[in-house]
Amino acid sequence: MQSLRWLRCLCAVDNPRMPLDLDDTERAALAALLRAQIKNTRWPLAPRTKALRAILDKLEPPPPRPERFPRPKPPAQPSALLAKKRRR
């Protein structure tokens, strides 16, 4: 809990859009700290944990989801071959 005290200073309540000038190593360290806090939390659905996940998504956006397959077309007239098989 004490390790997140400085994180509260970064997320100023007065200025929620405060820019962070972090280099790659600082950004990676902050992301690792957030991942560890999220992983070790006792209550994964708590508002605090959701806020930490939102911050982590801003630091390291998740990879894009793959596109879904298109919906199947509605059935049309059966083919002549299928109609021939049904007659037998």
Digit-coded pLDDT (tens) for 38-62: 999 999 899 999 999 999 998 888 8
51 occurs within a structural domain: yes
Cβ neighbour number for residue 52 with a 10 Å cutoff? 19
Containing structural domain, residue 45: 2-62
Q: Which residue has the higher pLDDT, 3 or 20?
A: 20
Number of independent structural domains in the chain: 1
Instruction: For tokens 């630091």, name the residue.
Output: 59
31 occurs within a structural domain: yes
56 occurs within a structural domain: yes
Angstrom distance (rounded) from CA 28 to CA 19: 17
23 occurs within a structural domain: yes
**pTM score of the predicted model:** 0.54
Across all residues in the chain, what is the average pLDDT? Answer: 79
70 occurs within a structural domain: no
Output the six-digit token pair for 39: 């992983």
